[in-house]
Amino acid sequence: MTAKTTDTDTDTNRDTNTGHGEWEELVAAALLGTGRRQGDPSALLDAAAVQTVRRRAGLRPAPAGPRPDPAPRDPRPAPPEPARRRLAQLLAGRTGAGSGGGRRGAAPDLTELLPQWLAAAGRHGYRAPAALVPALLDAARARTDLRAQALALAGARGLWLARLNPDWRFALRGGAGGGELPDPEDGAGVERLWQEGLFAERVALLGTVRVHEAAAATRLLSTTWAAERAEDRLMFLDSLRVGLTEGDEPFLEAALGDRSRNVRATAAELLSALPQSALARRMAERARACVGPEGVTPPAECDAGMLRDGVVERPPAGRGERAWWLGQLVEAAPLSCWGERFGGLGPAEIVALPVAGGESWREELHAAWCRAAVRQRDPQWSKALLGSASSPPATAPGTASLAERAKLLSILPDGQRAQWVAEFIRAHGLSEAFQLLGVCVVPWAGTLGRAVVDALDAAREAGSYPWSFSGVMGLAERCLDPAEADLLESLTATSDGPPDTSAGAAAYWAEAFQRLVATLRLRATMLGELTPPGP
Amino acid sequence: MTEQGVRWTAEQVLALAPDVASRTAGAKLGGAGPWSQTGDSASGLVWGVCKGSGSTPYRTVVDLTGPAYNCSCPSRKFPCKHALGLLLLRSAEGFGERGGAPDWAAEWQAGRAAKAARAASAAEGPADEGAAKIRAERRAARISAGVTELEQRLEDVLRGGLAGQQQAGYAPWEETAARMVDAQAPGLAARVRELGTIPSCGPGWPARMLEEGALLHLLNRGWLGLAGLPQPLAATVRSRVGLPGSAAEGEVVRDRWLVLAQYDSVSPDGRLTTRRTWLRGLGSGRPALVLDFGPPGRPPGLALPVGLVLEAEARFRPGTAGLRADLGERAAPAAANDQPPAGISTGAALEAYGAALREDPWLDSWPVVLGPVIPIPGELGWQLADAEGTSALPVALSGGASRSGLWQLAALSGGGPVTVFGECGHRGFTPLTAWQPGCPEPVALG
């Protein structure tokens, strides 16, 4: 009972013929027992019944507590009704029994569609339907990969709710929602949060300030730098990686003298990603002294200057120290320094040159160039180091490692990336393509999509089982352009498997393709639902 | 009434799902892909053939006037995922031209009609009145013996003092409840069980125990003095004790009934699912509670989508403040309501509950549409406050309400006014359904 009873107006008309006074007295008598006072239990129950019904019948509202401030209005339009319904379904299916273990059958997978729904809704500029905001916040809490998009969609209403419910506090932190971060112009607010904030809030603040004015961030960082703990210095430094510019160089150059070795190494790494920096110039000089058309001469010692510029002296077990130093110098030297050194050759030609001094030097050098291409985000060098997609991976100019190649690929422009991977799949099949597909832009470009579908079809013809390709299948469900569904339709038939394939495999393939088609169709429908109705 | 053109919304269809798994599975079947031979008729019949994983496709048919469902799939759930998928398909795309129902669908509908007619004539048929009277008298005597025993037990407890109850534990009450079951008074048994749990439920328990004990005592006295009570109160006492009132003697109200809320609760032993459906007559303004029951593992059959209006006869059972009703024949397929129901203030809501207590003092709550009100979340408890003024009702979570439902309510409101349907009683207000201003579509808070 929390509602207020009618204490005020029952005083005048309280029935006194019950023989008992206040309700509290009745409770006290009941607790003690009528036996001790020679009372009548039945009369006590009578009186209590009268009081109970009277109290209930006379309930009055309580005074209202402080109301929450109204949520700011979200000017964005709500999604069309079918899209709203779809979102409710996707959010409900998030934890639904349908997504549990077991064989997946031919039904489409709803879970993977949620991120795509959110992304598309974001592109259309919708706000979340109010009733679904709590489910959206729960989803954002459970899946960090959804967080930014879910919070953007939930918008002002989401932040308003998050302030009321501690479970959703996460939404108030981090850059995505804006949360309670002060305006970068608000000097006092920035200063206060920087001094008093939690670490995550301070990192978010640093990011916001940096977007607003790059130099202001390192100025802010300098104010407390000496007093920060080494782990925090490292994390702050690491957060500069995004949007690194020439303006950060003085701060980073100073950090090369830091007490912590990790901080020094990170500062050096960041500086080497700035080809114009003094460190990059020093590294270029050292690297050019070791590598040239005449061959490779690795450094003879790791001097104090190299140490200060972040070169790690001791190699890991099993590696020679001179090769180890060479790798670090080349990795940190700007790639632009090689053209001149090699008499004006382009990256592809330089990469193709034989390396005097033996195979192991070639490998060291190329691996270091790969790391440099990724660090400096240089598409030309990346392309040169990847080489031709159709030649056997072992003969690749830069590296045979798929992980390294995926990194190089991610530097290429979208179209070239899809083209390269498509060519790779045509030449080598799907078994090694998974990592490479993972860095391609979604939805897959037409050539890439068709290469994947053709390869899956070839795998079926060859009599293998679909679960050997479940990784690629899953990717395809997520990444294939819905327009491919019609092309795939012909593959869903069960009957036309080649005679030498076991019937079971054919059925599984048919089912896998059915699921793929169903998912693509559902995705097409879903994206269609999100399209605003025409004028 | 021409309501054939009105399609149910997807929310209304999905609200019919007996559980989350069916909801998800049904949603997946809501696209055209697996369906063929779909159609619907002016009389509210919807049918379709759904290709599943087996070689024989399933035949699914829904009678919207029920709604009632039939499907050749082996699922024991009602409605099954195929029926949900079929209705979703219809809600999204419609079926175009109306046509005649295929034989299998028409046969099922005819069978249903025949069964209903048989049931109706059986109810009117001659019964052995003498034997029935003797049975009723014998049962009344057993209940009276049980009531007397229960009175004795209550008085003993009060003589010894409630203070001893925490040590005494639950077992003696469980035993008393079993005695009440033996005495064929299930209503008393349930109250006794409830009473036994109070000493372990935290601060303030003695007052609560005295309240519930006193109300039980009141019920016992009512039963023993049944002959002297006015007719409606006597009926209330009989039904509270556990003697089902006969629907045949009930008052019949024909109206357009708006479905306000529907939720299930499972009995403590897990053996019976009770589905509560709250209705309000749009013409009469009268509230109605329709109960339906399902055995273990099987949800109750009655599934009415929240927010729909059905034109039907409701037969009100005598007693219990005139809330309990059974739905009779439905005239037309259910249609969507076009505006949110009108709400009342917090004060008026408590007055309505108080007034209902005159007819049924054992009533825990009364169905109320509250609004416009503003939800106020609070760490110690939530409130619903009148948008104009400073009065508020505390929010009580019980029955069909959940914490996530409260947050949904807060999200809908955003600090502004909403209309809320729920159960208003001495524990507070339990919100079940909400409407945003100007939006006729209800949001079931779950």
CB contact under 8 A, B206 and A68: no
The half-sphere exposure of A395 on its side-chain side, counting CA atoms within 13 A, is: 6
CB contact under 8 A, A33 and B390: no
Q: What does the DSSP assignment read for A519-531?
A: HHHHHHHHHHHHS
Chain A residues with CB-CB distance to B407 below 8 A: 134, 161, 165
pLDDT of residue A111: 65
pLDDT of residue A14: 38
ipTM, two decimals, is 0.80
Distance from C-alpha of A451 to C-alpha of A375, rounded to nearest angstrom: 30
Residue B97 binned pLDDT confidence (cut-offs 50, 70, 90): low
Counting as low any pLDDT under 50, the low residues of chain A are 1-20, 95-103, 175-179, 495-497, 499
Higher-confidence residue of B4 and B291: namely: B291
Looking at residue A22, its amino acid is E
Please give the mean pLDDT across all residues of chain A: 83
Distance from C-alpha of A122 to C-alpha of A432, rounded to nearest angstrom: 34
Average pLDDT over residues B228-239: 92
How many angstroms separate the CA of residue A80 from the nearest CA in chain B? 13
Listed in sequence order, the residues at least 6 apart from B152 whose beta carbon sits closer than 8 Å to its beta carbon are none
Judge contact between A216 and A209, C-beta under 8 A. Answer: yes
Residues B412, B413, B419, B425, CA torsion sign = positive
Judge contact between A444 and A479, C-beta under 8 A. Answer: yes
Whether the per-residue pLDDT at B65 is higher than 80: the answer is: no
Distance from C-alpha of A46 to C-alpha of B225, rounded to nearest angstrom: 14
pLDDT of residue A110: 62
A438-442, Cβ contacts within 8 angstroms, sequence gap of 24 or more:
A438/A406, A438/A475, A439/A406, A439/A407, A439/A409, A439/A410, A440/A409, A440/A479, A441/A414, A441/A417, A442/A478, A442/A479
Among the residue ranges A129-133, B114-118, B191-195, the one predicted with the least confidence is: B114-118
Chain B residues with CB-CB distance to A59 below 8 A: 350, 353-354, 426
The verdict on whether omega for the bond into residue B305 sits within 30 degrees of 0, i.e. cis, is no
The verdict on whether omega for the bond into residue B244 sits within 30 degrees of 0, i.e. cis, is no
Distance from C-alpha of B378 to C-alpha of B371, rounded to nearest angstrom: 20
Distance from C-alpha of A234 to C-alpha of A230, rounded to nearest angstrom: 6
Q: What does the DSSP assignment read for B220-242?
A: HHHHHTGGGS-HHHHHHHHHHHT
Task: State the Cα torsion B397-B401-B406-B411 to the nearest 10°.
Answer: -170
Chain B residues with CB-CB distance to A89 below 8 A: 14, 24, 27
Distance from C-alpha of A52 to C-alpha of A61, rounded to nearest angstrom: 17
Chain B residue with CA closest to A73: the answer is B414
Judge contact between B370 and B424, C-beta under 8 A. Answer: yes
CB contact under 8 A, A68 and B215: no
pLDDT of residue A535: 59
Whether the per-residue pLDDT at B98 is higher than 80: the answer is: no
Residues B191, B194, B196, B201, CA torsion sign = negative
Looking at residue A199, its amino acid is F
**Which residue from A37, A57, A38, A60 is spatially nearest to A49, judged by alpha carbons?**
A57
pTM exceeds 0.90: no
What residues does B263 pair with on adjacent strands? B276
CB contact under 8 A, B358 and A161: no
**Which residue from A27, A44, A49 is spatially nearest to B212, judged by alpha carbons?**
A49
Strands B428-435 vs B443-444: parallel, antiparallel or unpaired: antiparallel
**DSSP tag of A61:** P
The H-or-E segment that residue A8 falls in is: helix A7-13
pLDDT digits (tens, 9 = 90+) for A419-430: 999 999 999 888
Judge contact between A169 and A162, C-beta under 8 A. Answer: yes
How many angstroms separate the CA of residue B221 from the nearest CA in chain A? 9
pLDDT of residue B256: 93
Residue B121 binned pLDDT confidence (cut-offs 50, 70, 90): low
Judge contact between A168 and A137, C-beta under 8 A. Answer: yes
Greatest mean pLDDT among A54-68, A359-373, B233-247, B286-300 lies in A54-68
Distance from C-alpha of A244 to C-alpha of B84, rounded to nearest angstrom: 54
Inter-helix orientation angle A41-57/B205-224, to 10°: 100
Distance from C-alpha of B171 to C-alpha of B192, rounded to nearest angstrom: 11
Length in residues, chain B: 446
Closest CB to A65: pick one of B215, B383, B428.
B383
CB contact under 8 A, B154 and A45: yes
**Which residue from A344, A396, A343, A340 is spatially nearest to A370, judged by alpha carbons?**
A396
Distance from C-alpha of A205 to C-alpha of B184, rounded to nearest angstrom: 70
Inter-helix orientation angle A41-57/A23-32, to 10°: 140
Coil, strand or helix at A168: helix
Strands B308-316 vs A295-296: parallel, antiparallel or unpaired: unpaired
What residues does B251 pair with on adjacent strands? B316
The verdict on whether omega for the bond into residue B372 sits within 30 degrees of 0, i.e. cis, is yes
**R_g over Cα of chain A:** 34
Phi, psi of A3 (to 5 degrees): -70, 150
pLDDT digits (tens, 9 = 90+) for A331-366: 999 999 999 899 889 999 998 888 877 777 888 899
How many angstroms separate the CA of residue B100 from the nearest CA in chain A? 29
pLDDT digits (tens, 9 = 90+) for A35-48: 887 789 999 999 99
Token look-up 């004990």 returns B213
Give the number of beta-carbon pairs within 8 Å between A and B.
213
CB contact under 8 A, A2 and B428: yes
Please give the mean pLDDT across all residues of chain B: 86
pLDDT digits (tens, 9 = 90+) for A1-14: 444 443 333 333 33
Q: Does any CB of chain B come closer than 8 Å to the CB of residue A44?
A: yes
Distance from C-alpha of B47 to C-alpha of B70, rounded to nearest angstrom: 9
CB contact under 8 A, A65 and B92: no
CA distances from B432 to B1, B249, B276 (A): 29, 31, 12
pLDDT of residue B6: 59
Q: How many CB atoms are located within 10 Å of the residue B296 CB?
A: 11
Average pLDDT over residues B257-280: 87
Closest CB to A71: pick one of B209, B346, B414.
B414
CA of residue B80 relative to chain centroid, distance: 21
What residues does B344 pair with on adjacent strands? B370
